[in-house]
Structure 1
């Protein structure tokens, strides 16, 4: 099939009826490419300097510039999904996304012109008929050969706009449409329209008519077609993230590192590749013959295009695409026994697992209740660790603690237990935390369930000691104020609140200390930690 200059088409325009732009007028030439004929190579023998004067790499097309890059871009437009992130065309066109069971595979450079089924693109010094730009030789299922005519024609590698001459990327996009089985279209804005004007880049982007023809030949993209979303190299391996890979015996295609000879299969293939994580991840050793370009996954026992993935870029050094976040998992909670009251705001409980960077909620559950832990009380340290200032759990016993990213949950059970000795939290519980008298004062007292704790306050941190009790405040009992008796509730603690009217009314900031004494034998009686606050007016 040939792409011709507009003058030839115009010469026969009186015999050609062009339908409206909303009509679909694609045609086929009979047949389709087998799954082992998706490779594309270039013998870069263009003689025009303009054909190889682009030396600026494209982010999604690693390792190639000039005509190589233009040819590669031209074939990716026919791919099932956007190639990489879809960028690469200066017009803003997303390259790829035909939504058919078809994907081309860039196999780099060839050492010669090759035969008519070697899938090689090259220039030819002259073509029969002075109006021919390029032509495709199509044995179809067994491959093809594409020739760019050079006599009297100036070829440009882009990627930007130019004046005079013809666009390699756009013409390659047209000719590759023939290679995959399309004939010419009578729709004027279709890539497969049989002519193109000089200086035009319009046919780089396939139209709805072209998409419809491709889907007719290869079928609409199957819902379970393998899909690559990211490639991540590390330590001599390449991890491919995506979906719908076979559990075993996948084949991973790599672009070869150098020019390959004609007549053979240029792909570098790693066979017998297993997937993990439900068919969403494949990790293989990077083979010695692989180079920058693209990768493609062929599913086990592949028979048609719905069994091979989209082609996806890799330079074998840097990640491409965005790997999915690892699934959230909780593997341990430390300590396993969490006291009913953990005094202060220190994050003393550590949750360990994976996928923690995506966590948006930390919570625990009691029958009939979900208790969200305020985000101010927990910190994502890294992808494996979250630290928590654990709030009170309302009840003792085994309770599930969960983390979530808003979609998925991971849960482990922990035990909330009585404190080993009385504990007292005033305000935030941190030493010398500041309390505005007008706001009132929250207090939590923890101890053995059902036991009574006497609470005392003092302006002095000098100790008070007898054989019965040894306290850290009160200046030998001379500066102690009895605040009241508290019975410890069934959750291992009791919460109190002192209103502003029950608190000192200082004109300046004052420091006060407090301590609890649990009325439980043996002697000396158990005492709590010394709590301290700064009251401000």
Structure 2
């Protein structure tokens, strides 16, 4: 980044009088109240400084000379943040949390189950690695600062539109993560960096409880890692809510020196591809200009620049608007391969499922392109959003419900680049009778469904009891419920259909609150003689 013009910066005074600093409560409560009187916060909570970063100010670097013993203990590489460890890794994660969408697969922070990258605005950072020094106030560097100021963890030098710098006082015991177990007195570096990076973007302090940009915080500050709805509203007001036409990088391939980027909304020509610089530099990304896209604006092919290193790749289409720059996509120049891109399902575990299972069934898909998955379907029927989840780019887990139709079932996954080829899984009647309930609780106002799976044509007797003591009827059946038959009731009798299952539906009423109802099926398979086979037992609790 070219150096900005010289300017005078506010001095950092005791008790964090700079309103763009993060302060330890309760030392600043009085000063924050005075600030609120001088400049009333918006009803939404967030405030803006009047600054915004144009496309020439999207870079960030870290001067890694943190002296705290816990700042650089994280030596575990993260494929979502290639080439970074310790404090730089924590600060990089903080920056991408403000990004327009999940960063790669979204992983890297166990405290954020929805993934890193929650800004949903037309802003994305360009990670440019390590800086050789703290730089000047316009050099876009996160850097430690010797000493301490009572009540102040860190501060951002303003104004930021022409560049910024964030300083962290060495006097604190910084914790570099990513774990959630901080020792007493440790301060979470990623959480503080997320707050301070918000200042660099043009956000002031917020009055909204729970927001990352709240001026005062206590404890380890780990909770600041994840930006909240008020923070999202603030960044959207500055950069605009992410538009549908914003370019998106959804995958990459590296083979030798050939790079293929997959995505959406690339310009027909004149695209720039930005890479993280391997070393040195002033924060300016390695830029490959004047690139055409193919396949309807979804693919760019280029040669990897020599100066590019592990980090992120972004695409800028012609123009200077915030929405002309894509999201940041992890790109590891040192490990050729494929990340993201079109959905490709390579395998599934297990390959065989049951029409009814006593325990919840799931399948795990392996492949690529899952990080940007938008839909999962079985036999063309879309599953509810809560029925599937991704772990990075290469794993997708599907939770299945009872009963399932027997036969070969086609599983398909869709992302913005298209739908995968169908993968077949086999669904069979269970080898042993199986019982599953629709809910662990029941009431007089709602039907309970009991699903029994067994060989087609089998006869089924569904029994219930308030006792979990066994019943043994010599030569007939052995059950795990019923208290020797003293508390055993026959609810219904039916046969297993060709689909390998039968569903019983009923309602209980008039039972005391909290009564357990134990159910079990006795099954006579086709062509078999007594004794009857018994399914597993299942329990529901009657509440009202």
TM-score scaled to structure 2, two decimals? Answer: 0.57
Alignment of 1:213 with 2:234, yes or no, is yes
Q: Distance in 2 between matches of 1:312 and 1:74?
A: 15
Q: Distance in 1 between matches of 2:337 and 2:109?
A: 21
Give the aligned partner of residue 257 of structure 2. 236
**Residues 245, 13 of structure 1: CA spacing in aligned structure 2 closer, same or farther, 3 A cutoff?**
closer
Give the aligned partner of residue 27 of structure 1. 47
Which residue of 74, 87, 90 corresponds with 2:110?
90
Which residue of 275, 287, 305 corresponds with 1:269?
287
Q: Work out whether residues 101 and 220 of structure 1, in 8 Å CA contact, stay in contact via their aligned partners in 2.
A: yes
Trace 1:41-440 onto structure 2 (pairs within 5 A): 41-93=61-113, 94-127=115-148, 129-151=149-171, 153-161=172-180, 162-163=182-183, 164-258=185-279, 260-261=280-281, 264-300=282-318, 302-316=319-333, 317-319=335-337, 321-324=339-342
**Residues 312, 14 of structure 1: CA spacing in aligned structure 2 closer, same or farther, 3 A cutoff?**
closer
Q: How many correspondences in the alignment?
A: 323
Q: Work out whether residues 314 and 320 of structure 1, in 8 Å CA contact, stay in contact via their aligned partners in 2.
A: no
Q: Distance in 1 between matches of 2:43 and 2:164?
A: 29
Cα offset, 1:265, TM superposition: 4.2
The alignment partner of 1:228 has SS state of strand
Trace 1:517-536 onto structure 2 (pairs within 5 A): none
Give the aligned partner of residue 361 of structure 2. none
Cα offset, 1:9, TM superposition: 3.1
The alignment partner of 1:52 has SS state of coil
Trace 1:480-495 onto structure 2 (pairs within 5 A): none
Give the aligned partner of residue 6 of structure 1. 25
The alignment partner of 1:51 has SS state of coil
Q: Distance in 1 between matches of 2:173 and 2:91?
A: 16
Q: Work out whether residues 101 and 222 of structure 1, in 8 Å CA contact, stay in contact via their aligned partners in 2.
A: yes
Cα offset, 1:80, TM superposition: 0.3
Deviation per CA, 1:387-424, whole angstroms, max 9, x where unpaired?
xxxxxxxxxxxxxxxxx969xxxxxxxxxxxxxxxxxx
The alignment partner of 2:121 has SS state of coil
Q: Work out whether residues 226 and 245 of structure 1, in 8 Å CA contact, stay in contact via their aligned partners in 2.
A: yes
The alignment partner of 1:238 has SS state of strand
Cα offset, 1:199, TM superposition: 1.9
Q: Distance in 1 between matches of 2:154 and 2:203?
A: 15
The alignment partner of 2:179 has SS state of coil
Unaligned runs of 5+ in 2: 1-19, 345-377, 380-419, 423-544
TM-score scaled to structure 1, two decimals? Answer: 0.57
**Residues 48, 254 of structure 1: CA spacing in aligned structure 2 closer, same or farther, 3 A cutoff?**
same
Deviation per CA, 1:317-342, whole angstroms, max 9, x where unpaired?
2445422169xxxxxxxxxxxxxxxx
Q: Work out whether residues 85 and 321 of structure 1, in 8 Å CA contact, stay in contact via their aligned partners in 2.
A: no
Cα offset, 1:98, TM superposition: 1.4
Structure 1 vs Structure 2 CA RMSD: 2.4
Q: Distance in 1 between matches of 2:290 and 2:155?
A: 38
Cα offset, 1:14, TM superposition: 7.1
Cα offset, 1:16, TM superposition: 8.7
Q: Distance in 1 between matches of 2:283 and 2:153?
A: 28
The alignment partner of 1:49 has SS state of coil
Cα offset, 1:247, TM superposition: 1.1
Cα offset, 1:49, TM superposition: 1.6
Cα offset, 1:200, TM superposition: 3.0
**Residues 14, 148 of structure 1: CA spacing in aligned structure 2 closer, same or farther, 3 A cutoff?**
closer
Q: Distance in 1 between matches of 2:47 and 2:337?
A: 40
Q: Distance in 2 between matches of 1:45 and 1:3?
A: 20
The alignment partner of 1:254 has SS state of strand
Q: Distance in 2 between matches of 1:124 and 1:68?
A: 15
Cα offset, 1:75, TM superposition: 0.2
The alignment partner of 2:123 has SS state of coil
**Residues 12, 144 of structure 1: CA spacing in aligned structure 2 closer, same or farther, 3 A cutoff?**
closer
Q: Distance in 2 between matches of 1:310 and 1:103?
A: 6
Give the aligned partner of residue 331 of structure 1. none
The alignment partner of 1:229 has SS state of strand
